[in-house]
């Protein structure tokens, strides 16, 4: 089990090695997952609070929508900030690649 977040060009991994790194390797096995989840949630909360400082109510609502993967919110934001985003050549390329991958996957699954 592990969680990770970006740390420069590396990653911080919340797993057994993380517990050793911070001197918590003696925690009983039964409590390790709970400790790792607690650390991850606290970090997530603090980072979210810091990122949201100074945001307007609207920006905060958008930010929350993105975090919660609210597709309606994300779509509205995209159309408001770049009405032509759906016609982007990069998006069209990505769509073609995803369709090709889907076709390959479905053919392999038969």
Which phi-psi region, left, alpha or beta, contains residue 101 (left: φ > 0; alpha: ψ -120 to 50)? alpha
DSSP string, 49-93: HHHHTT--HHHHHHHHHHHTT-HHHHHHHHHHH-TTGGG-HHHHH
Q: SS3 of 13, please?
A: strand
Residues 11-58 have pLDDT tens digits of 567 778 888 888 888 989 889 889 888 988 898 888 888 888 889 999
Q: How confident is the model at residue 10 (pLDDT cuts 50, 70, 90)?
A: low
Q: Is the pLDDT of residue 9 over 60?
A: no
Residues 60-80 have pLDDT tens digits of 999 889 888 898 998 899 889
78-98: burial string, b at 16+ Cβ within 10 Å, e else: eeeeeeeeeeeeeeeeeeeee
């Amino acid at each position: 089990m592990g969680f990770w977040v970006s740390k420069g060009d590396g990653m911080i991994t919340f797993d057994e090695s993380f517990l050793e790194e911070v001197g918590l390797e003696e925690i009983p096995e039964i409590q390790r997952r709970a400790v790792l989840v607690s650390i991850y949630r606290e970090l997530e909360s603090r980072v979210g609070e810091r990122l949201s400082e100074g945001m307007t109510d609207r920006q905060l609502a958008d930010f929350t929508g993105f975090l919660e993967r609210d597709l309606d919110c994300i779509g509205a934001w995209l159309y408001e900030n770049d009405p032509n985003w759906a016609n982007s050549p990069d998006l069209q390329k990505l769509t073609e690649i995803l369709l090709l991958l889907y076709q390959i996957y479905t053919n392999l699954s038969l």
